[in-house]
Structure 1
Amino acid sequence: MEPFKIHILGCGSALPTLRHYSSSQVVEIRGKQFMIDCGEGTQMQLRRSRIRFTKLSAVFISHLHGDHCFGLIGMISTFGLLGRTAKLDVYAPAALEQMLDEQMRLYCHGLEFEVVFHVVDTTQQQVIYEDRSLTVESVPLEHRVPCCGFLFKEKPTMPHIKRDMMDFYHIPVSQIYNIKGGADWMTPEGEVIPNSRLVEPVEPARSYAYCSDTRYIPTLYERIKGVTALYHESTYGEDCIQHAEKYYHSTALQAAMVARDAQVGKLLLGHYSSRYEDENVLLEEAKKVFEDSFLCDEQMIFEL
Structure 2
Amino acid sequence: MTLISPACRDALQNWLDGRRALAGAADHTITAYSRDVAGFLAFMAEHHGGGQGLAALERITVSDMRAWMARERGEGLSSRSLARKLSAVKSFYRWLAEREGFEPTAVLSTRAPRFQRKLPRPLAEPAARDVIDTMGMQSETPWVAARDVAVVTLLYGCGLRISEALGLTGADAPLPQVLRILGKGGKERLVPVLPAARDAVENYTRLCPFKAEPTAPLFLGVRGGALLPRAIQGAMAQARMQLGLPSSATPHALRHSFATHLLAAGGDLRAIQELLGHASLSTTQAYTGVETAQLIEVYNRAHPRA
**How high is the TM-score relative to the length of structure 1?**
0.24
**How high is the TM-score relative to the length of structure 2?**
0.24
**Higher-strand-fraction structure:** 1
Larger-Rg structure: 2
**Higher-helix-fraction structure:** 2
